[in-house]
Amino acid sequence: MGRSSPLVGWLGGAALTLMLIGSAIGLFFVAADAEQGEVQRLMYVHVPAAWTAFVAFFLVFIGSVLYLVQRDPRADRFAAACAEVGVVFIALTLATGMLWGKPTWGVWWTWDPRLTTTALLLAVFVGYLAIRGFSDDPDRRARWSAVVGILGFIQVPIVYLSVVWWRTLHQPPSSPRSVSSEILWTWMLNFLAFLLVFSYLAARRARLARIEAELETRQAYDV
Protein backbone atom coordinates (compact mmCIF):
# COMPACT_ATOMS: atom_id res chain seq x y z
CA MET A 1 0.00 0.00 0.00
CA GLY A 2 3.02 2.27 0.33
CA ARG A 3 4.06 4.90 2.74
CA SER A 4 2.85 8.49 2.63
CA SER A 5 4.91 10.94 0.60
CA PRO A 6 7.60 12.89 2.47
CA LEU A 7 6.03 15.98 0.90
CA VAL A 8 2.90 15.40 2.97
CA GLY A 9 5.01 15.32 6.14
CA TRP A 10 6.71 18.58 5.18
CA LEU A 11 3.29 20.06 4.42
CA GLY A 12 2.08 19.15 7.89
CA GLY A 13 5.14 20.74 9.47
CA ALA A 14 4.72 23.92 7.45
CA ALA A 15 1.01 24.06 8.33
CA LEU A 16 1.70 23.71 12.05
CA THR A 17 4.47 26.32 11.97
CA LEU A 18 2.41 28.88 10.11
CA MET A 19 -0.61 28.24 12.33
CA LEU A 20 1.48 28.98 15.42
CA ILE A 21 2.92 32.13 13.88
CA GLY A 22 -0.45 33.38 12.64
CA SER A 23 -2.15 32.65 15.96
CA ALA A 24 0.59 34.43 17.91
CA ILE A 25 0.35 37.52 15.71
CA GLY A 26 -3.44 37.60 15.92
CA LEU A 27 -3.48 37.12 19.69
CA PHE A 28 -0.54 39.18 20.87
CA PHE A 29 0.86 41.52 18.25
CA VAL A 30 -2.11 43.02 16.40
CA ALA A 31 -3.89 45.74 18.34
CA ALA A 32 -7.42 45.01 19.54
CA ASP A 33 -10.24 46.59 17.53
CA ALA A 34 -11.28 50.02 18.80
CA GLU A 35 -15.01 49.19 18.72
CA GLN A 36 -15.21 45.42 19.32
CA GLY A 37 -12.25 45.03 21.64
CA GLU A 38 -10.61 41.65 22.23
CA VAL A 39 -13.50 39.63 20.81
CA GLN A 40 -12.49 40.85 17.34
CA ARG A 41 -9.49 38.52 17.52
CA LEU A 42 -11.90 35.64 16.79
CA MET A 43 -12.04 37.01 13.24
CA TYR A 44 -8.47 35.77 12.68
CA VAL A 45 -9.93 32.26 12.92
CA HIS A 46 -13.50 32.85 11.74
CA VAL A 47 -12.72 34.56 8.43
CA PRO A 48 -9.88 32.26 7.28
CA ALA A 49 -11.92 29.20 8.29
CA ALA A 50 -14.84 30.39 6.15
CA TRP A 51 -12.60 31.13 3.16
CA THR A 52 -10.94 27.72 3.50
CA ALA A 53 -14.32 25.97 3.63
CA PHE A 54 -15.34 27.74 0.42
CA VAL A 55 -12.14 26.57 -1.26
CA ALA A 56 -12.78 23.02 -0.01
CA PHE A 57 -16.30 22.91 -1.44
CA PHE A 58 -15.11 24.37 -4.75
CA LEU A 59 -12.63 21.48 -4.94
CA VAL A 60 -15.47 19.06 -4.17
CA PHE A 61 -17.29 20.58 -7.14
CA ILE A 62 -14.23 20.12 -9.38
CA GLY A 63 -13.66 16.54 -8.24
CA SER A 64 -17.35 15.70 -8.72
CA VAL A 65 -17.42 17.07 -12.26
CA LEU A 66 -14.24 15.20 -13.12
CA TYR A 67 -15.68 11.95 -11.82
CA LEU A 68 -18.87 12.26 -13.85
CA VAL A 69 -16.83 13.04 -16.97
CA GLN A 70 -13.94 10.60 -16.54
CA ARG A 71 -15.25 7.98 -14.06
CA ASP A 72 -11.86 8.14 -12.37
CA PRO A 73 -12.01 6.84 -8.75
CA ARG A 74 -9.20 9.22 -7.83
CA ALA A 75 -11.48 12.18 -8.56
CA ASP A 76 -14.15 10.72 -6.28
CA ARG A 77 -11.64 10.12 -3.47
CA PHE A 78 -10.32 13.66 -3.90
CA ALA A 79 -13.83 15.14 -3.69
CA ALA A 80 -14.74 13.04 -0.65
CA ALA A 81 -11.53 13.99 1.19
CA CYS A 82 -12.10 17.70 0.50
CA ALA A 83 -15.72 17.41 1.65
CA GLU A 84 -14.79 15.79 4.97
CA VAL A 85 -12.20 18.43 5.79
CA GLY A 86 -14.43 21.20 4.45
CA VAL A 87 -17.17 20.18 6.87
CA VAL A 88 -14.72 20.63 9.74
CA PHE A 89 -13.86 24.15 8.59
CA ILE A 90 -17.44 25.26 8.02
CA ALA A 91 -18.37 23.90 11.47
CA LEU A 92 -15.44 25.91 12.89
CA THR A 93 -16.79 28.96 11.06
CA LEU A 94 -20.19 28.58 12.70
CA ALA A 95 -18.70 27.90 16.14
CA THR A 96 -16.44 30.96 16.11
CA GLY A 97 -19.27 33.05 14.69
CA MET A 98 -21.46 32.08 17.63
CA LEU A 99 -18.67 32.92 20.08
CA TRP A 100 -18.34 36.32 18.42
CA GLY A 101 -22.11 36.87 18.23
CA LYS A 102 -22.83 36.46 21.93
CA PRO A 103 -20.86 39.53 23.13
CA THR A 104 -21.54 41.49 19.93
CA TRP A 105 -25.23 40.81 19.25
CA GLY A 106 -26.21 39.52 22.69
CA VAL A 107 -27.26 36.07 21.41
CA TRP A 108 -25.47 32.86 20.49
CA TRP A 109 -27.66 32.30 17.46
CA THR A 110 -30.17 34.23 15.38
CA TRP A 111 -31.82 33.27 12.11
CA ASP A 112 -29.83 35.87 10.25
CA PRO A 113 -29.54 35.15 6.47
CA ARG A 114 -25.76 34.69 6.63
CA LEU A 115 -25.95 32.33 9.62
CA THR A 116 -28.90 30.41 8.19
CA THR A 117 -27.35 29.90 4.74
CA THR A 118 -24.06 28.85 6.35
CA ALA A 119 -25.88 26.30 8.51
CA LEU A 120 -27.59 24.99 5.37
CA LEU A 121 -24.20 24.70 3.67
CA LEU A 122 -22.98 22.57 6.57
CA ALA A 123 -26.13 20.44 6.39
CA VAL A 124 -25.72 19.89 2.63
CA PHE A 125 -22.19 18.56 2.94
CA VAL A 126 -22.96 16.49 6.01
CA GLY A 127 -25.65 14.99 3.77
CA TYR A 128 -23.02 14.47 1.06
CA LEU A 129 -20.95 12.42 3.51
CA ALA A 130 -24.02 10.50 4.67
CA ILE A 131 -24.97 9.59 1.10
CA ARG A 132 -21.61 7.93 0.66
CA GLY A 133 -22.71 5.28 3.15
CA PHE A 134 -25.93 4.42 1.31
CA SER A 135 -24.41 2.15 -1.34
CA ASP A 136 -21.75 -0.54 -1.38
CA ASP A 137 -21.25 -0.15 -5.12
CA PRO A 138 -18.29 2.23 -5.63
CA ASP A 139 -19.53 3.69 -8.93
CA ARG A 140 -23.09 4.25 -7.73
CA ARG A 141 -21.81 5.80 -4.50
CA ALA A 142 -19.48 8.10 -6.41
CA ARG A 143 -22.18 9.16 -8.90
CA TRP A 144 -24.70 9.99 -6.20
CA SER A 145 -22.08 11.89 -4.23
CA ALA A 146 -20.92 13.78 -7.31
CA VAL A 147 -24.43 15.04 -8.04
CA VAL A 148 -24.83 16.27 -4.46
CA GLY A 149 -21.34 17.79 -4.50
CA ILE A 150 -22.12 19.76 -7.66
CA LEU A 151 -25.54 20.96 -6.52
CA GLY A 152 -24.26 21.63 -3.00
CA PHE A 153 -21.62 24.03 -4.26
CA ILE A 154 -24.43 26.35 -5.42
CA GLN A 155 -24.92 27.15 -1.75
CA VAL A 156 -21.45 28.72 -1.49
CA PRO A 157 -22.19 31.88 -3.55
CA ILE A 158 -25.56 32.11 -1.80
CA VAL A 159 -23.76 32.22 1.56
CA TYR A 160 -21.29 34.82 0.30
CA LEU A 161 -23.96 37.07 -1.26
CA SER A 162 -26.54 36.65 1.51
CA VAL A 163 -25.39 39.87 3.21
CA VAL A 164 -25.85 41.70 -0.10
CA TRP A 165 -29.23 40.24 -1.09
CA TRP A 166 -30.99 40.47 2.28
CA ARG A 167 -31.07 42.80 5.25
CA THR A 168 -28.88 41.17 7.84
CA LEU A 169 -27.23 41.69 11.22
CA HIS A 170 -24.03 40.31 9.78
CA GLN A 171 -21.56 42.84 8.45
CA PRO A 172 -21.12 43.05 4.65
CA PRO A 173 -18.15 41.37 2.93
CA SER A 174 -14.89 43.01 3.93
CA SER A 175 -12.71 44.60 1.27
CA PRO A 176 -9.05 45.63 1.49
CA ARG A 177 -10.19 49.25 1.83
CA SER A 178 -12.60 48.54 4.68
CA VAL A 179 -9.99 47.14 7.11
CA SER A 180 -6.55 48.23 8.20
CA SER A 181 -3.51 46.75 6.49
CA GLU A 182 -2.55 45.18 9.83
CA ILE A 183 -5.82 43.26 10.04
CA LEU A 184 -5.78 42.36 6.36
CA TRP A 185 -2.29 40.88 6.41
CA THR A 186 -3.07 38.91 9.57
CA TRP A 187 -6.16 37.51 7.88
CA MET A 188 -4.15 36.54 4.83
CA LEU A 189 -1.40 34.92 6.89
CA ASN A 190 -3.92 32.84 8.80
CA PHE A 191 -5.77 32.01 5.58
CA LEU A 192 -2.53 30.64 4.13
CA ALA A 193 -1.99 28.65 7.34
CA PHE A 194 -5.52 27.24 7.15
CA LEU A 195 -5.04 26.33 3.49
CA LEU A 196 -1.92 24.38 4.41
CA VAL A 197 -3.77 22.61 7.22
CA PHE A 198 -6.61 21.80 4.81
CA SER A 199 -4.17 20.50 2.18
CA TYR A 200 -2.41 18.30 4.71
CA LEU A 201 -5.60 16.80 6.12
CA ALA A 202 -7.17 16.31 2.69
CA ALA A 203 -4.02 14.60 1.39
CA ARG A 204 -3.96 12.23 4.37
CA ARG A 205 -7.67 11.51 4.03
CA ALA A 206 -7.38 10.86 0.28
CA ARG A 207 -4.53 8.40 0.93
CA LEU A 208 -6.64 6.61 3.53
CA ALA A 209 -9.52 6.46 1.04
CA ARG A 210 -7.19 4.87 -1.53
CA ILE A 211 -6.14 2.23 1.00
CA GLU A 212 -9.80 1.55 1.85
CA ALA A 213 -10.58 1.14 -1.88
CA GLU A 214 -7.71 -1.33 -2.26
CA LEU A 215 -9.01 -3.34 0.68
CA GLU A 216 -12.52 -3.36 -0.81
CA THR A 217 -11.12 -4.67 -4.08
CA ARG A 218 -9.13 -7.41 -2.34
CA GLN A 219 -12.16 -8.48 -0.32
CA ALA A 220 -14.25 -8.61 -3.50
CA TYR A 221 -11.69 -10.88 -5.16
CA ASP A 222 -11.43 -13.06 -2.05
CA VAL A 223 -15.18 -13.62 -2.14
**Does 12 reside within a domain?**
yes
Beta bridge partners of 33: 37
User: How large is the average pLDDT for residues 89-93?
Assistant: 97
- Least Cα distance to 190 among 47, 36, 39, 38 occurs for 47
pLDDT at 57: 98
Report whether pLDDT(19) > 70.
yes
- Least Cα distance to 42 among 187, 193, 198 occurs for 187
pLDDT at 89: 97
How many domains does the chain fold into?
1
Between residues 83 and 165, the one the model is more confident about: 83
Helix, strand, coil abundance in the chain, percent, nearest 5 = 80, 0, 20
pLDDT bracket for residue 1 (50, 70, 90):
very low
Domain membership of residue 97 as a residue range: 6-30+37-222
Domain of residue 175, CATH code: 1.20.120
Q: How far is the CA of 194 from the CAs of 39, 45, 170, 203, in angstroms?
A: 20, 9, 23, 14
Q: Which amino acid appears at position 109 of this protein?
A: W
How many C-beta atoms surround the C-beta of residue 75 within 10 A? 20
- pLDDT per residue over 163-212, tens digit each? 888 877 777 766 556 677 888 899 999 999 999 999 999 999 999 988 88
**Does 187 reside within a domain?**
yes
- pLDDT per residue over 38-54, tens digit each? 888 999 999 999 999 99
**Does 116 reside within a domain?**
yes
